[in-house]
Chains A and B, each alone.
Chain A
Amino acid sequence: GAGVSQSPSNKVTEKGKDVELRCDPISGHTALYWYRQRLGQGLEFLIYFQGNSAPDKSGLPSDRFSAERTGESVSTLTIQRTQQEDSAVYLCASSLDTSGGRHEQFFGPGTRLTVL
């Protein structure tokens, strides 16, 4: 595809519900990153994938957060039992790979999650 796509673009949910956020990276990009951006704050690293493996999950805030990637393509970020503090924009980015950390990340438009 032309760029990184994310769905849904907006999600409003009730506290306690589970949500799934999807990211479709640029074709051929083996590295995929998830970030969270709360209002007025910077990008908070959550997790990254190299292929289908996640070498670094250190940014996941709690065990309510999980992510997976299949076929070295689409990734899903799942938040269980959502809380109001989970409200944020969730950004996905992809890059060719992670070698040396030098490849440019291409960002998607984000999913704005609102937990009521």
Chain B
Amino acid sequence: AQSVSQHNHHVILSEAASLELGCNYSYGGTVNLFWYVQYPGQHLQLLLKYFSGDPLVKGIKGFEAEFIKSKFSFNLRKPSVQWSDTAEYFCAVNRISGTYKYIFGTGTRLKVLA
């Protein structure tokens, strides 16, 4: 069955710490990969996306993610987090053809301590 796994449900970091959130997917065929973020009181919004080409993609606010096809992974990273990065982060995948439904992970709640 198609699925997306986010291993860390809750993460607490101090400001300036480095961040890596794991995402693994199980989805046949060629896929598109996304990270969405939901800041407190706000709507879900796109953080970054990968379709093809360079497997290291950069998004907004200093975030980046690396697609490792052999590991079916798309981990999110940031070298130095800020208090304003406190949010819930969702990994998502869909296929490039056929049905375009998105499969989302369960989310990771990140709290950054000032």
Q: Please tell me if A104 contacts chain B, counting CB pairs below 8 Å.
A: yes
Binds B, one of A53-61, A66-74, A78-86: A53-61
On whether the beta carbons of A42 and B100 are closer than 8 Å, the reply is no
Q: Would A41 and B106 be within 8 Å (CB), given that A56-B100, A59-B101, A98-B100 are in contact?
A: yes
Contact of B96 (CB < 8 Å), options: A42, A45, A101, A104: A101
On whether the beta carbons of B49 and A104 are closer than 8 Å, the reply is yes
Q: Please tell me if B39 contacts chain A, counting CB pairs below 8 Å.
A: no
Q: Would A45 and B103 be within 8 Å (CB), given that A101-B94, A102-B32, A102-B49 are in contact?
A: yes
User: CB-CB < 8 A to B46: which residues of A?
Assistant: 104-105
Contact of B90 (CB < 8 Å), options: A42, A50, A58, A59: A42
Q: Please tell me if A48 contacts chain B, counting CB pairs below 8 Å.
A: yes
Q: Please tell me if A90 contacts chain B, counting CB pairs below 8 Å.
A: no
Q: Please tell me if B51 contacts chain A, counting CB pairs below 8 Å.
A: yes
- Range of interface residues on B (Cβ < 8 Å): 20 to 34
Min Cβ gap B33→A in Å is: 10
A45 closest partner in B (C-beta): B101
Please encode chain A, from 81 to 116, with 1 for each CB lying within 8 Å of some chain B CB and 0 for all others.
000000000010100001011101111110000000
B107 closest partner in A (C-beta): A42
On whether the beta carbons of A35 and B43 are closer than 8 Å, the reply is no
Chain B residues within CB distance 8 Å of chain A: 4, 6, 32, 36, 43-46, 49, 51, 90, 92, 94-97, 99-107
